[in-house]
Amino acid sequence: MTFPVAVLELYPLFRWLSGVLESFGFSANTVLIISYAVLGVIMFSALSIIALFLVWWERKIAAHMQQRFGPMRHGWHGWYQTIMDAIKLLQKEDVRVASRDKIVYFWAPVICFVAAYLAYIVMPWGKNLIVADFNIGILYIMAVTTFTVIALLMAGWGSNNKYALLGGMRSAAQVVSYEIPMVASILTVILFVGSMSMVDIVTSQSGWIFNWFIFKLPFGPIAFVTYLIAATAEANRTPFDIPEAEQELVAGFNIEYSGMKFAMFFLAEFINMFTVSALAATLFLGGWNGWSFIPSWAWFLMKTFGVVFLMMLIRWTYPRLRVDQLMEFAWKFLVPVTFANLILAAVIKYAGWHW
Amino acid sequence: MQGGIGNMGIFKDIKALFSGMRITSKHLGRHAITLQYPEEKWEMPERSRGVVVLLSDKEDGSLNCTSCMLCMRACPTAAIVIDSPRDPETKKRNLKKFEIDFGLCCFCGLCEEACNFSAIKLATKYEFSSADKDSFLWDVNKLQEVGRDVDYIDTRKKKKVAPKKETTPAETKSPEKKPVDQKGENS
Amino acid sequence: MSDLRTEEYYLNMGPHHPSTHGVCRMVLKMDGEKVKEIEPHIGYLHRSIEKICENRTYAQCIPILDRFEYVTAMSCNYVFALAAERLASIEVPERAEHIRVIMLELNRIASHLLFYGVTAMDIGALTPFLYGLRERESILDLFEMTCGQRLTYNYIRVGGVSRDLPNGFIPKCHEALNTIEKKLADYEGLLNENPIWLVRTVGIGVLPAKVALDYGVSGPCLRASGVQYDLRRNDPYSIYDRFEFDIPVRHNGDCYDRYLLRLDEIRQSIHIVRQALDALPEGDFKAKVSPNFKPPAGEVYARIENSRGELGVHVISDGTKKPLRVKTRGASYNHIAVLPAFATDVLLADLVAIFATMDVIMPEVDR
């Protein structure tokens, strides 16, 4: 694992910043730490803006699908509605249950929120636009996104509420089950690329459009679809949103959270959705590859938002599965299909029947 | 699962999933059917039963009410309170108090139907919510004020639906001549 | 490890729960996600409508009864008017009967469209709710145009209806019916074949015909269990015997059949309304009935088929202008009562689906 100092130097901003800092007489290590802090703040704000935008976008899409307007009050078509919502949630009283498990209850939203952001350390936003290019990039993402389930379980347990507990338990069962088909789908990609580094995965798909992994017939599309299904479940969205099924569990694990703690869960959920969509874009849709007249980060965002849009369409169209059907679907359908697909991909790779 | 995803034809399922998606995405480009409420408003149909108002005469602007108390008796929730002591000399009722408590009113329209003098009507106006309970108690002045511009068909003159205002000035409201039939504003 | 154990626990579902359609409270004995026992608690919406009616004249009872079952307030209006008419032997004009049938059937369509929406929403599909309500809106517009209100109509009166149909009602009504008929394809396309919808409803909450009959279940829930029983046929009232329509029956008694049956009923109701609109005669819309009329002493039980089942009202008159006793009967009460008999050993999510497809509405239970 290389510590990505070199990556930092790619950005003019950081070159300029380190120049300024060095002129003030800071040591090289301090300069590095400050640069990373600045980078962290930039990533954090960018992701928060994306999450807020996604909330607004989802509301708009849902509204238009249902022939409503959606938010219309703040700005053009209510574009800063979610910012106002966030401000409102910040001001709200933090109502806490007296019988909560104090430590667990407090840390659950924090862990959920942080875990959602962690994945973006290795996310390739564009050409040379990556915080750190780990050689285990995708494995790292799989590892940190699973933190979310711990947070949801903690929220369910710490709230001391039966609905929340049911939500937390459902979430644990669901995320653990869907992790397997998700990883199996990703493995087909890794199998072909031969590397877990996110940059390698993207560069291996460069060139013309049929180098994108989704067009690697016959297993590419299957892997994409199974990944998308598993990712929808990972992100706790309809038809797999049983941890917070409003009609059954009222709000599930976050039933006892209010104010900013609720907002943290809420934003984390949308960032998770963006994460799985960005992964889908990176792994299957060529990442930031595209015609060069559009900057690479724009390609990445376009593809990601395309996948997000698909997930939103799914969410607002389909009913919700039941918890046991969800498990059955994962173990009896998705896991066999993804593993068969993986074996097929391995055979094809070994035999060399691919371009 | 029980007769579910595993057993049924997977292609049929996929087709059904896509057809559902087609229907929702078809609606994406359509116009909203809702309105931005405080700025835009639906046009209320003529018969819409909104706030209860007292109607005034179209010519001289005096109240049509003869304080016969029919509406008060018809009201199922006792929202209407009328106090009209009889003048000992002329034997006519004198409207002293006419109050409607909109906290009680259920907007059933029975008062309008009971009235034989086109004096009370459920107008199409509807925005009169308030956070103050006392403000729902409207007295006769307020009821008349709100009802000033409410259009209505004057059925007080016998056997003749007054077209507009070319008829003779309305005679002073006299409780003696009672039009017998109910309000026949069926169109 | 020996002290590890599992235990059943109680989950309090309601009175404020998104899927109890009002303020029903169910105490569930749960084993994990599985519902072992259901104990419905009712009475959170009690407004003592029956007692209030004892202090009102017959005309004044009708707006009160609007609030009895507000999703199909027309049928509440109608059933009380029917009881009063039978008490006092009032002849209702032909035109009024036709208008009544139009209104009752339109109200049934509106109620079933609401059912479509909320059931889909309870099972997790959020968009059908708005689609169902969109078409319901066009029917409510018709009602508002006719009687001035969208929910508490106070339209059907003893001896007829309060007002004649307004100008332009008939073309607008035809237009609304055509739209609904066209949109039914959308509704079915969204859910009928959807595999997720199928696994959530097919074979879930099977209500056997015997249990249904034992508990007095009526309406679509009973017909979905294979019992052909519809008061429009079995105990004809108004002029339903003149119209040609089918009573849809399904035999599985599960959530899916209850859902499909209501869609079928929408089609039949559209058919009835069209026939009634075509046959609409000229004439009076109301018989001459004094607002303070006094029916002779006696008692009568009138019952009709509303969108949820048998809606009845028992009126006892002592010869004064106010009824001595009014007893209402709503189908939802039985539909809640039957839940413990057949909806046990299901998952929590299934209970929500069953509750939604029984189409319970709480004001009818608590009145």
What are the extents of the domains in chain C?
A: 8-366
Strand B97-101 vs strand B137-138: parallel, antiparallel, or unpaired? antiparallel
Predicted pLDDT of residue A7? 56
Phi, psi of B93, rounded to the nearest 5 degrees: -80, 145
- Chain C residues lying within 8 Å of B3, measured CB to CB: 198-199, 202-203
CA dihedral C207, C10, A319, A323 (to 10 degrees): -100
Predicted pLDDT of residue A323? 84
Give the Cα separation of A52 and A315 in Å (integer): 18
Q: Which residue has the tokens 């877990």?
A: A196
Looking at every residue in chain B, the average pLDDT score rounds to: 74
User: C196 pLDDT band (50/70/90 cuts)?
Assistant: confident
Predicted pLDDT of residue A355? 60
User: Minimal Cα distance from C168: which residue of B?
Assistant: B187
User: A197 pLDDT band (50/70/90 cuts)?
Assistant: confident
Is A45 in the C-facing interface, judged by CB distances under 8 Å?
A: no
User: A116 pLDDT band (50/70/90 cuts)?
Assistant: confident
Percent of chain A past pLDDT 70, that is, above it, reads 96
Give the Cα separation of C225 and C212 in Å (integer): 8
CA dihedral A258, A275, B5, C265 (to 10 degrees): 50
CA Rg value for chain A: 21
Predicted pLDDT of residue B186? 43
Region B153-169 average pLDDT: 53
Predicted pLDDT of residue A354? 66
The nearest CA of chain C is from the CA of A283 a distance in Å of 28
* Res B175 pLDDT > 60: no
Q: Which residues contact B149 (CB under 8 A, 6 or more apart)?
A: none
Residues linked to residue C9 through DSSP beta bridges, in sequence order: C30
Is A325 in the C-facing interface, judged by CB distances under 8 Å?
A: yes
The token duo for C107 is 């109200």
Lowest mean pLDDT among A182-196, B168-182, C278-292: B168-182
Contact A35, A27 (CB under 8 A): no
Point out the residue among C123, C131, C134 whose CB comes nearest to the CB of A320. Answer: C123
Region B162-170 average pLDDT: 45
Give the Cα separation of A186 and A306 in Å (integer): 19
The token duo for A86 is 């966030």
Top pLDDT among C366 and A245 is at C366
Per-residue pLDDT reduced to its tens digit, B11-41 = 777 887 888 888 888 888 788 888 888 888 8
**End-to-end CA distance of chain C, in Å?**
53
* Res C131 pLDDT > 50: yes
User: B185 pLDDT band (50/70/90 cuts)?
Assistant: very low
The nearest CA of chain B is from the CA of C26 a distance in Å of 27
Point out the residue among A163, A317, A322 whose CB comes nearest to the CB of C349. Answer: A322
* Res B177 pLDDT > 50: no
Is A64 in the C-facing interface, judged by CB distances under 8 Å?
A: no
Q: Which residues contact C15 (CB under 8 A, 6 or more apart)?
A: C23, C24, C25, C41, C44
Per-residue pLDDT reduced to its tens digit, A81-97 = 888 888 888 888 888 88
Please judge whether A328 and B1 are an interchain contact, meaning their C-beta atoms are less than 8 angstroms apart: yes
Point out the residue among C62, C146, C203 whose CB comes nearest to the CB of B2. Answer: C203
Residues linked to residue C160 through DSSP beta bridges, in sequence order: C157, C286
CA dihedral A34, A36, A37, A42 (to 10 degrees): 130
Predicted pLDDT of residue C60? 86
What ranges in B36-185 are assigned the alpha helix state H?
70-74, 110-114, 140-146
Per-residue pLDDT reduced to its tens digit, A217-241 = 777 788 888 898 888 888 888 788 8
Per-residue pLDDT reduced to its tens digit, A199-214 = 888 888 877 777 788 7
Top pLDDT among A133 and A223 is at A223
Strand C25-31 vs strand C9-13: parallel, antiparallel, or unpaired? antiparallel
User: B136 pLDDT band (50/70/90 cuts)?
Assistant: confident
Which amino acid, one-letter code, is at A146?
A: T
* Res B187 pLDDT > 60: no
Please judge whether B21 and A317 are an interchain contact, meaning their C-beta atoms are less than 8 angstroms apart: yes
Instruction: Please state, in angstroms and as integers, the Cα–Cα distance from residue A273 to each residue in A59, A267, A289, A307, A308, following that order.
Output: 15, 10, 21, 10, 7
Point out the residue among C62, C154, C189 whose CB comes nearest to the CB of B23. Answer: C189
Its ipTM equals 0.81
Contact C101, C272 (CB under 8 A): yes
Give the Cα separation of B97 and C186 in Å (integer): 56
Q: Which residues contact A20 (CB under 8 A, 6 or more apart)?
A: none
User: B8 pLDDT band (50/70/90 cuts)?
Assistant: low
- Chain A residues lying within 8 Å of C345, measured CB to CB: none
Contact B120, B71 (CB under 8 A): yes
Q: Which residue has the tokens 């199996």?
A: A184
Provide DSSP, C264-293. Answer: HHHHHHHHHHHHHHHT---S-SB----TT-
Per-residue pLDDT reduced to its tens digit, C29-65 = 888 888 888 888 888 888 888 888 888 888 888 888 8
Using alpha carbons, select from B155, B40, B49, B26 the residue that is nearest to residue B110: B49
Please judge whether A333 and B20 are an interchain contact, meaning their C-beta atoms are less than 8 angstroms apart: no
Is B12 in the C-facing interface, judged by CB distances under 8 Å?
A: yes
Top pLDDT among B86 and A305 is at A305
User: Minimal Cα distance from B27: which residue of A?
Assistant: A65
Predicted pLDDT of residue C150? 86
Q: Which residue has the tokens 């309008």?
A: B112
Region C196-221 average pLDDT: 88
User: Minimal Cα distance from C125: which residue of A?
Assistant: A319
Phi, psi of C24, rounded to the nearest 5 degrees: -85, 140
Percent of chain B past pLDDT 70, that is, above it, reads 79
Please judge whether C63 and B108 are an interchain contact, meaning their C-beta atoms are less than 8 angstroms apart: yes
Instruction: Please state, in angstroms and as integers, the Cα–Cα distance from residue A31 to each residue in A10, A16, A19, A134, C34, following that order.
Output: 15, 11, 9, 21, 58
Predicted pLDDT of residue B23? 82
* Length of chain C in terms of residues written: 367
Per-residue pLDDT reduced to its tens digit, C228-260 = 888 888 888 888 888 888 888 988 888 898 899
Please judge whether C199 and B5 are an interchain contact, meaning their C-beta atoms are less than 8 angstroms apart: yes
Per-residue pLDDT reduced to its tens digit, A306-327 = 999 988 888 888 888 888 888 8
Architecture of domain C8-366: Orthogonal Bundle (1.10)
User: Minimal Cα distance from B20: which residue of A?
Assistant: A317
Predicted pLDDT of residue B4? 45
Predicted pLDDT of residue B181? 44
User: A10 pLDDT band (50/70/90 cuts)?
Assistant: low
Give the Cα separation of A330 and A179 in Å (integer): 9
Predicted pLDDT of residue B176? 44
- Chain C residues lying within 8 Å of B113, measured CB to CB: 162, 291
Contact A39, A8 (CB under 8 A): yes
Mutate to test the interface with B, among C60, C127, C206 (most CBs of B within 10 A): C60
Using alpha carbons, select from C136, C18, C120 the residue that is nearest to residue C71: C136
Is C198 in the A-facing interface, judged by CB distances under 8 Å?
A: no
For the beta carbon of residue C335, count every other beta carbon within 10 angstroms.
Answer: 29
Point out the residue among A61, A313, A329 whose CB comes nearest to the CB of B5. Answer: A329
Which helix (H) or strand (E) element contains residue A318? none
CB under 8 A, 24+ apart: contacts of B35-42:
B36/A69, B36/A72
